[in-house]
Amino acid sequence: MSYIGGIIQKNTSNIGYYLTQIGKTLRHRTLSKHKIYTKYEEKESIYPENFESIKGHIGVIAGDFINLNGVTYSQPLTGCDEKTVVALNGELYNSNQLKTSLKNFHTFRTENDGEIVAHLFESKKFKQTCLKKNLYNVFNSIAGYFSLLIYDRENDIITIGRDPVGIKPLFIGKNDQIIAFASERKALWKIGLEYVKPVLPGFFYILSRYDFKKLKFSVLNFQGPTIKKPIKDITNILSSKLVSSIKKTTKDRKKAALCFSGGLDSSIIAKTLQMVNINVELFCVSVKNHPDEKNAKNAAEKLNLPLNVYNLTFEEVESKIPEIIWLIEEINPLKVSIAIPLFFLAREAKKAGFNHMILGQGADELFAGYKKYQKNLQNKGITALKKALEKDTKNLWNSSLQTVDMATMAHTISPKYPFLEPELISYSISIPPELKIKNNERKYILRETARLLNLPPEIIKRPKKAIQYGSGINKILKKIAKKNCKTDKITPFLIRIANTLNFPSNSKLVNT
């Protein structure tokens, strides 16, 4: 869990003011200290306000990073030569392999994955006279979920980038005087940038004093061959990939918090966590007696796992809506209704002593979980289904992951997604779409995998119910809207709330 940010000024040199504003705005994403680097200075403080007097035209900032074991590392940090500064929001799945390849020539001072990137950048193995080639080598060598910055202090160049799925948010904006980036839009709005855009997944951006250019290093590939194997073989491999993904996602930690509805996806994750001997604690947020609560209690009993249930009330949800809208920077009714239960889930997980929470995002898009996919297949055929799955998987960063991250990071809870581990995504993509919907059953191949994992039949057959409906949040939102706007249409109510939050006029948040 962390945040990153930075700025390049074209003419003036009051860099401290801008870095302070970014740090103050994003302080909820870190538990303790913030640190900045400029060309000639570095400074660390619990209070970003202490950076205000720093001078210079280029600088970066980040919050302390907390790993799965609860260990805190200061960042940004440098490699061996002190000229390369890196901060990473996320984690690398191949950190051990990379460290092994670098340890004979580099001294590691921390367990922060960002330090690995710093050594990669400065390594003779990857060092190129061409900056672009060097960056391509670095970004294509790391696997995981991340947004990161690489600041070349010697040449006054900052590079930022995101993993190909886009799990961790990152935004960029500019005007006539500055180019800046940050983990949330609100930090850039705070320094006067109204026109802010997301950094695209699978791209890195090279920022210099007068402009930036973006370059693609990787994207999700849906054009490869499909698997031609018996269903039994596919489910065996898929279950093996799930186990591998869980191990990478948890880094073999012995305890994990899981967002749990009692549905197919979260139950598969719970069962897989049990298989690798991780103590699972389940968390469910729901309006009292709604389907998610009932299903979660039933499934938790079948799996013999501890379950924490928090019942939401009308009054509590109503009181938190302005804060949640500000956090997720959206007034799209769907995104708000997703964010509300996740906000409370993260709060309860934090109370229980967790820093991370596992979620099932990605399973519906990879395995055809929504009704619309069934209609797509029936009305337009298998090719249309495949295209719909591809489109929605590639758009996960915007449709869901960004909202989840901002809602959970409000409580410094970092979300983890086993279904979105790169190797599991790649294998899932290669499964024929006709095995994702078969005999009019959505997620057919995933349900067959659940049978292999010996999940109870009632869980395997349980139909999909989105969190906003299963938890009862959608009904509460309509009631709140009717109380405040005399209509159960949610959008006018959310617009009214947004107008009290001083969102920039050009932020284009309505129904994005």
Model pTM? 0.95
Question: What domains can be seen in the chain, in order of their start residue?
Answer: 4-216 (3.60.20.10), 231-498 (3.40.50.620)
- What pLDDT, on a 0 to 100 scale, did the predictor assign at position 122? 86
Q: Running DSSP on this structure, what letter comes out for residue 226?
A: P
59: left (phi over 0), alpha (psi -120 to 50) or beta: beta
Cα distance between residue 71 and residue 1, in whole Å: 11
Burial grade of 363 (CB within 10 A; 0-12, 13-18, 19 or more):
buried
- What pLDDT, on a 0 to 100 scale, did the predictor assign at position 445? 98
Cα distance between residue 180 and residue 342, in whole Å: 29
- Three-state SS for 80? coil
Cα distance between residue 326 and residue 320, in whole Å: 10
Q: What is the pLDDT along the chain (512 residues), one digit of tens a residue?
A: 689 999 999 887 889 999 999 999 999 999 889 999 999 999 999 999 999 999 999 999 999 877 666 677 889 999 888 899 999 999 999 999 999 999 888 888 888 899 999 999 988 555 556 889 899 999 999 999 999 999 999 899 999 999 999 999 999 999 999 999 999 999 999 999 988 999 999 999 999 988 899 999 998 999 888 999 999 999 999 999 999 999 999 986 889 999 999 999 999 999 999 999 999 999 999 999 999 999 999 999 999 999 999 999 999 999 999 999 999 999 999 999 999 999 999 999 999 999 999 999 999 999 999 999 999 999 999 999 999 999 999 999 999 999 999 999 999 999 999 999 999 999 999 999 999 999 999 999 999 999 999 999 999 999 888 889 999 999 999 999 999 998 889 999 999 999 998 787 656 554 44
Buried b / exposed e over 378-398, threshold 16 CB at 10 Å, is eeeeeebbbebbbebbbebbb
Burial grade of 319 (CB within 10 A; 0-12, 13-18, 19 or more):
exposed
The closest alpha carbon to 391, from 429, 423, 448, belongs to 429
- What pLDDT, on a 0 to 100 scale, did the predictor assign at position 512? 42
Cα distance between residue 216 and residue 454, in whole Å: 42
Q: Tell me the one-letter amino acid at 439.
A: N
- What pLDDT, on a 0 to 100 scale, did the predictor assign at position 474? 94
- What pLDDT, on a 0 to 100 scale, did the predictor assign at position 68? 61
Q: Tell me the one-letter amino acid at 183.
A: S
The closest alpha carbon to 33, from 17, 50, 21, 56, belongs to 50
- What pLDDT, on a 0 to 100 scale, did the predictor assign at position 1? 66
- What pLDDT, on a 0 to 100 scale, did the predictor assign at position 509? 59
- What pLDDT, on a 0 to 100 scale, did the predictor assign at position 188? 97
